Amino acid sequence: MEISEVMYQNISGTTMSAKAIKFDCSDTNPCSNLVLSNVNLDKQDGTVETYCHSAQGFPYGVVHPSADCLSSSDKIPQVAESTMEEDIRHTEL
């Protein structure tokens, strides 16, 4: 299955895992155009990290832990631009 154009927006919380954000996508169908916007995840007793495998996208705004492992592109996908402007919501997990 191909996963594309997914936005994770306004997420904050605490995790039990050191890998707070994990994108483990398929080599044959990599994830693309993933957007992380205003994500803040911490671990009560340690540091957190982001894991990426076959995933492409970019952070927007504050993203913790850093999502530098996503290979980024210079252009914001069209769907992400319109979603950020039109869809303002607060989501907590």
| Through-space distance between the first and last CA atoms of the chain, rounded to whole angstroms | 25
Q: Summarize pLDDT for 16-60 with one digit per residue, the tens.
A: 999 999 999 999 999 999 999 999 999 988 899 999 999 999 998
pTM of this prediction? 0.71
CA 35, CA 37: separation in Å to the nearest integer? 6
With cut-offs at 50, 70 and 90, classify the pLDDT of residue 72. low
Which DSSP state fits 72?
A: P
